[in-house]
Homo-oligomer: A and B are copies of this chain.
């Protein structure tokens, strides 16, 4: 199964774009840097994607959220365990610097610094994630919850997770000893899961 040379350049550009976008944000990223990393010409972005915006739209387009595939693997476990697993996977993708997948990082970036492609990414990536979590919370808490409260619970979980990612520069200054190695990430994930599961109990009781 041969792949056209142009197809290879496209893929290298997309990969480089995801990298740079997740590092620098959309505004901070430059077409030149992306092309440099992709080993392509400066004009390549506009040639292949029409514009920087076009490249972003394409770079944000994920066939399916790898995160959900992973966690769906454990679909038969109880919801509490699945929440634990989800948070652990999410945090690893978010914080592990060696993580090859920049899907979650670029998604988190988009949250904090929206781009023209926000509609798309909400639709394709964030909404499914939110929905997955909402189902999980529903299973844990029981059906007696209002839609609004359900959403807020999901936000409470998501907010905790993203905080470690997007406030990393702040946390580094606040706690200079902090390092995001595998063990630390696991511990953080465990904390968030514990904190959240007990937080959810309040809503379960009140239902």
Contacts and interface: CB of A to CB of B under 8 A. Distances in A.
Interface of A: 25, 27-28, 110-114, 118-119, 122-123, 126-127, 130, 149, 151-153, 155-156, 158-164, 166-167, 169-171, 173-175, 188, 191-192, 194-203
Q: Which applies to chain A's interface (DSSP): helix, strand, loop or mixed?
A: helix
A153 B111 contact: no
Pick the 9 closest A-B CB pairs, nearest first.
Answer: A159-B163, A112-B112, A195-B199, A199-B199, A198-B202, A114-B169, A159-B160, A122-B173, A152-B191
Contacts of A191: 149, 152-153, 156
Contact of A122 (B153, B160, B174, B197): B174
A121 to B, nearest CB: 8
Contact of A164 (B155, B164, B173, B174): B155
